[in-house]
Amino acid sequence: MIEMKLVSKRFGKINPLSIDDYIKLDGYKNLAKALKMEKTEIIEQVEQAYLRGRGGAGFPAAIKMMGLAKEACDEKFVICNADEGEPGNFKDRYLMENDPHQILEGMIIVAYATGATKGFIYVRGEYQKSISLLKWSIDEAKKKGFLGQNILGKNFNFDIEVRSGAGSYVCGEEFALIESIEGNPGRTRVKPPFPTSKGLYNKPTLINNVETLSTIPLIIEMGGKNFAKIGTKSSTGTKLISLSGNVKNKGVFEIPFGVPIRDVIFKLGGGIENDRKIKMVQLGGACGPIIPEYMLDMIIDFERFEEFDSKTGAGAIIVMDERFDIFTVLLKVVKFFEHESCGKCTPCREGHIQLANLIIKFIERKATVKDIISLESLARVIHQASLCGLGQTSPTAIISSLKYFRDDYLDRIEHPERT
């Protein structure tokens, strides 16, 4: 099998409500190891591992840790971004509901290495089970001395608090998330300054995804160089994949970077339901590119995905068979982002409305060549001029479809009589 269970190695083997089960399978062992290391050594291990963010952007985790560590401030924060609002993604929920202590352990190690004093886990409001499990796990960790004052006898104090979102997609963006924790409307801020210098309450703040923080204890256990041997040169380690759509076996799978998309769909997903043909696959979630079947032999890798002006996203693979119309899919994507836009910047607020109007013209077979030009131009303006990641990535599906499914567009113009 192409699976490599590292972050997910305890799934199904422990009761997520039991800290004792977690401890029996080496839980908090790597925290104890990290507390005996120099703080700079911990960051060096993460740097050698070349761990890149698993939430979508792929930003090197060590750079954020270095940025927070160098800030001279009495109060610094670590935030776990668990606002998993991207359609097609559900791997963070699996982590929270199957191994919550691994997330806490990663946060505590990062806090120790960077001098952080308080942690927050910002969880999607719909994930009520995850919220309950995390709160329970935090209480259990405090009882065992892994959180609170003088952790494991070390002069190190750190606590974690769970905060819940209210269903807003944009709060997955780091500054919108910070605004929400502070009690303000979830809208982004202009950058710079970046969170590691002025974040939550204008104090230095590090924000990482659930999967990224869950990987930290693994790096301490294996060592950064050994971790970097897994995967590819530009994308080390493993990745949790949320596989959904028209596949026989839907679910979360952990694979090393470098595995072809086709292998995930057919070897792990069991192929297509009713053995239909694949029409298209969307990568990363609603904000990701849509690719045709002939591109499925490309490997899952940060560098490989850069050709889409995109990243690997959070790891979603959404498979759509031959029954689906690309314009119907694009309209759903655009309408989703139109609804979720915070409205702060004009390109995003107004642009998605106009994108939807153009897509509808293709659905109704009333489009012209001029509409293709307008659609592509508007999508790229929104991509380049929007203030935050929502607007910067939301047109990716359209931009990719214009490249790989251009014949579908031209067919609607040349043969408007077809239904």
The pLDDT of residue 405: 96
Sheet holding 251-256, edge to edge: 251-256, 238-245, 316-321, 278-283, 290-291
Please give the Cα distance from 176 to 168 (Å, whole number). Answer: 10
| Single pTM value for the model | 0.93
pLDDT band at 126 (very low <50, low <70, confident <90, very high): very high
Bridge partners of 400, per DSSP, are: none
146 HSE (CA, 13 A, CB side): 28
Question: In 3D, which of 76, 94, 108, 82 has the Cα closest to residue 162?
Answer: 82
In this predicted model, what pLDDT tens digit does every residue of 55-88 receive, in sequence order?
877 899 999 999 999 999 999 999 999 999 888 9
Question: Does residue 304 or residue 243 have the better pLDDT?
Answer: 243
Asked whether the beta carbons of 112 and 156 are under 8 A apart, the reply is yes
> Would strands 159-164 and 205-209 be described as parallel, antiparallel, or unpaired?
unpaired
Nearest Cα neighbor of 270 from 293, 240, 249, 250 is 249
> What six digits make up the tokens of 250?
């839907």
- Cα distance between residue 280 and residue 350, in whole Å: 28
Query: Per-residue DSSP letters for 10-52?
Result: TTTTS-TT-HHHHHHTTTTHHHHHHTTS-HHHHHHHHHHHT-B
Express each pLDDT in 276-293 by its tens digit.
Answer: 999 999 998 888 999 999
pLDDT confidence of 170, banded at 50, 70, 90?
confident
* Residues contacting residue 185 through CB under 8 Å, at least 6 positions apart: 179, 342
Please, what are the domains in the chain?
Answer: 19-228 (3.40.50.11540), 238-321 (3.10.20.600), 326-414 (1.20.1440.230)
Q: CA 248, CA 177: separation in Å to the nearest integer?
A: 35
